[in-house]
Amino acid sequence: MDRLMKWMNEKFAPRLEAFTNNVWVSSIQEAIMVTLPMIFIGSFVTLISILKDFIPGMPDLTPITTFSFGLLGIFIAFLTPYTVMQKKGRDKIKLIAGATGISLFLMLLKPVTNEDGTIQFIMERFGPSGMITALLVGVAVAVVLNVFNNFSFFKKDSNLPEFIMEWFDFLVPIAIILTLGWVLVYQLNFDIFNLIVSVFEPVNALGQTLWGFLLFNMIGVALYSFGVSPWVIIPIFYAIWIPAIEQNAALVAQGLEPVNINTFETFFSGWLGVGGLGATLPLIILFLFAKSQKLKSIGRATLVPSLFNINEPVIYGAPIAFNPILMIPMWINGIITPIIVYLALDLGFAQIPSKVFQLWYTPIGISTYLMSGFNGLILLAVVLAIIFAVWYPFYKIYDAQELKKEQEEAKQQ
């Protein structure tokens, strides 16, 4: 265990940090994170729509979701190349890069042009279903513009105004990008959107299996236990989570049952993120009854944040990170709870979430009921009992160790 801890601390964590700090990786992360307010809008609409059951004649708020969460692809197609250019210090071209991303993205959606001049798009392609396409478009645009960074038609001592030279220099990479899209869509008749969706179907299918669901949770828990914030991988997970919940919502709207278990809602609004990733709220509650003054103080200080699913204070304050006594139960819960939750949802014991609800800071239990009803609360009670049982013996060992340290320090004073 000591060797593993040393390797993770000295080798793995620094390399992972270097990877996540890479301009391209961090730009994709930031682009997705910037869209979160638009995703949250869909969650607020879900909350407000509950009132329709009690207020007759309440208007349909679905269009608000359609023109916020439902335009996610367009936002990412703009933000990805924009952010890459910004991080590379190319502020003069970042807006043009974003606009080019939107242009190529819309072209690849393969709209139908009618004889009267009107254009028809498939609306669902603008939203989460187009997220992967939008990311790839954004990266492709950024790559081409980056290659042409040092290209110029003009000599450095040219007398032309700088903005005129920049306009002409930007023409070449933009023309290449849009011409490539034109050739693929209008000359070769490729449906790039369907192609990309088909390529990623196996990945999405794997993510919706028990093993994929377990792997998602375990990766996040393992990183967190070694002090690496799981938010570095959330953008990757969103690529599966967001289309999955959109499909669930579409199935329910058609009178069918939702099928995708691996969603953000299942993780953070349902049963796994009890106090945050790693299910740390039960541990904090146990800390409140600790004999060690240190652990009792940590419990009091971290209880309120944890109720709103903010558990960085206890992860780094207890600490759980790089603490084998507390890392092990965190891993055990990271394996047991997703298996129980997946099987319960798959067997129909509780309802699979089908509403967009990205308000991760909503206390667990409230969000669980909104997503899955009374049976969801029963499943949560079972999960909580198991989580408490796993944490308890390790908490007792850690409490005893900390109490002993405090007693020894008291004798030395």
Amino acid symbol at 61: L
Q: Tens digit of pLDDT for each residue in 247-267?
A: 888 898 888 989 999 998 898
Cβ atoms within 10 A of the Cβ of 89, count? 8
For residues 230 and 100, which has the higher predicted lDDT (pLDDT)? Answer: 100
Q: Once rounded to an integer, what is the mean pLDDT over residues 12-19?
A: 62
Q: Which of 64-68, 126-130, 146-150, 178-182 has the lowest mean pLDDT?
A: 126-130
Mean pLDDT of the chain: 82
Q: Tens digit of pLDDT for each residue in 63-99?
A: 887 788 778 889 989 999 999 989 888 888 888 999 9
Distances (CA, A) of 182 to 106, 177, 190, 194: 11, 9, 10, 16
Residues 234, 216: contact at Cβ < 8 Å? no
3-class state of residue 120 by DSSP:
strand
CA distance 257 to 301: 42
| Residue 377: both structure tokens together | 């609360």
Distances (CA, A) of 296 to 302, 308, 320: 10, 19, 15
Q: Which of 112-126, 212-226, 241-255 has the lowest mean pLDDT?
A: 112-126
Q: Once rounded to an integer, what is the mean pLDDT over residues 9-31?
A: 69
Cα 260 → chain centroid: 16
For residues 126 and 25, which has the higher predicted lDDT (pLDDT)? Answer: 126
Q: Tens digit of pLDDT for each residue in 163-185?
A: 555 666 678 888 889 999 999 88
